[in-house]
Amino acid sequence: MQSTDTIKRILKEYKTIAVVGLSGNWNRPSHFAAKYMKAHGYKIIPVNPGYEEILGEKCYPSLLEIPEPVDIVDIFRRSRDVPPIVDDAIEIGAKVVWMQLTVEHEEAAQKAREAGLEVVMDRCVKIEHGRFFGGINFLGVNRGVITSKK
């Protein structure tokens, strides 16, 4: 489990996110999270072989076909699908493997860590960003910044 300080640092430091399993359907969690992160200045690279473009960005069939550096590989796939995605994240030199809510795979996570990548499991980038940095009133959601200070 990553500490809150680590998650906050990752979201501050890294700005290019390849979203594996990003859906073109506006009402899917992957679409909502990617749209939010894009609205907050992150570069989103969709990875889904079923689309040519999502959110106005060229979509790639796999991580291996992305022609530019990727900081965070954000995984919106079932836990059982994670190992080959982690292998590809290692191969492309990503810095972080981020598994979305309910997505966990400890063996793949350990492999990523051994290759020098940071790992976040069972967390949502959108929720974590909103928690630490607040956010614009985005589609009716304004999380504000969570703090113990008055």
- pLDDT at res. 140: 42
- pLDDT at res. 1: 65
DSSP 3-state of 37: helix
- pLDDT at res. 94: 98
- pLDDT at res. 136: 52
**Average pLDDT, integer, range 54-65:** 98
Whether the Cβ atoms of residue 69 and residue 93 lie closer than 8 Å to each other:
yes
Q: How confident is the model at residue 133 (pLDDT cuts 50, 70, 90)?
A: confident
Whether the Cβ atoms of residue 125 and residue 97 lie closer than 8 Å to each other:
no
CB atoms within 10 A of CB 61: 13
pLDDT in tens, 79-132: 999 999 999 999 999 999 999 999 999 999 999 999 999 999 999 999 999 988
Sorted by where each starts, the structural domains of the chain and their CATH numbers stand as 4-133 (3.40.50.720)
Question: Is a pLDDT exceeding 70 seen at residue 67?
Answer: yes
DSSP string computed for 55-114: TTEE-BSSGGG--S--SEEEE-S-GGGHHHHHHHHHHHT-SEEEE-TT---HHHHHHHHH
Q: pTM for the whole thing? A: 0.89
CB atoms within 10 A of CB 139: 11
Whether the Cβ atoms of residue 97 and residue 120 lie closer than 8 Å to each other:
yes
138 — phi, psi (to 5°)? -105, 110
pLDDT in tens, 12-58: 999 999 999 999 999 999 999 999 999 999 999 999 999 999 999 99
